[in-house]
């Protein structure tokens, strides 16, 4: 059964450029994963520091593989200091 993840991300204004540089790599690598149907990063209109990851996977196992991937772990660790608040991650 397909799974969708919605993850809003709030970034400190001074860290937006660094976040986007890392996020572009993350999106590209995630879209090549087996089981990933779509991995997108969207930016709020008129809110340069507010982003939304929209992810779609073939099943829960594909999410687990993504979350255990080296690029995901490295990305999460790298952006943690850039965030202005903790993300709220929803899985549907």
pTM for this model (two decimals)? 0.94
Cβ neighbours for 23, distance < 8 A, ≥ 6 positions apart: 41, 51, 75, 79
pLDDT tens sequence across 12-31:
999 999 999 999 999 999 99
Output phi, psi for 2, to 5 deg: -60, 145
Q: Which domains does the chain have, with CATH numbers?
A: 3-91 (3.30.70.100)
Region of 47 (left: φ > 0; alpha: ψ -120 to 50; beta: rest) is beta
| Closest CA relative to residue 1, chosen from 69, 38, 56 | 56
pLDDT tens sequence across 58-82:
999 999 999 999 999 999 999 999 9
- Name 51's bridge partners: 9, 43
Report the percent of the chain where pLDDT is more than 70. Answer: 100
């Amino acid at each position: 059964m397909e799974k969708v993840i919605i993850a809003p991300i709030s970034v400190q204004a001074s860290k937006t450029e660094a976040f986007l540089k890392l996020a572009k790599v993350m999106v590209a690598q995630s879209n090549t994963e087996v089981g990933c149907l779509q991995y997108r990063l969207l930016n709020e209109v008129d809110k340069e520091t507010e982003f939304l990851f929209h992810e779609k996977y073939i099943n829960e196992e594909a999410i687990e593989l993504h979350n255990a991937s080296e690029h995901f772990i490295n990305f999460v660790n790298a952006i943690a200091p850039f965030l202005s608040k903790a993300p709220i991650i929803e899985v549907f």
